[in-house]
Amino acid sequence: MSHRSNPVRLAHVDELRDPGARGFDPDGLGRDTLFVVRRGSQIRAYRDACPHFFGETQMAWRKDAYLNGDGTRIVCHAHGAQFDIASGECLLGPCLGQRLTPVEIEVTSDGDIVLAAT
C-alpha cells in the first residue's frame, strides 16, 4: 500500500453491524482490497485476499459478505475456508493453519476507524 500523509478514514464504528463486516477500496482500484470486521469490542482489518489459491482471491460472494451466518467467523466463499476473527487464522478448510494478512487500523476517540499511518 502506498504511503499516505493523512490518515485514511474508513468508517465510523457505528456504521458496522455487530457482528458485521465491510469491504473498502482505499486506493480506488474499483474493488475492495481490505475489510474491517466488528464483533463486540473487537475491530480487526485484513486484506481481502484469501491465503488459499495463490493468496489473491477475493473472499466475499457479494459486497460485504465476509462472515458466516452467525457472525462468528470470517469465511472465504470461494472454497469455504473459515477464519478466526481475532487472529485471522484459518480454522477450517483448505488453508488450515495459514493466516489472513492483517491491516493496521486505529479507532480514534471519536469512533472513526482509520488506516494506521504507514
Q: Give the shortest CB-81-to-ligand FES separation in angstroms.
A: 4
56 binds ligand FES (CB under 6 A): no
Q: Give the shortest CB-66-to-ligand FES separation in angstroms.
A: 12
- Which CB sits closer to ligand FES, 21 or 76? 76
Q: Give the shortest CB-76-to-ligand FES separation in angstroms.
A: 3
68 binds ligand FES (CB under 6 A): no
Cα 3 to Cα 43: distance, rounded to the nearest angstrom: 23
Cα 101 to Cα 73: distance, rounded to the nearest angstrom: 15
57 binds ligand FES (CB under 6 A): yes
31 binds ligand FES (CB under 6 A): no
Among residues 16, 45, 67, 81, the one that binds ligand FES under rule CB under 6 A: 81
Among residues 8, 43, 78, 105, the one that binds ligand FES under rule CB under 6 A: 78
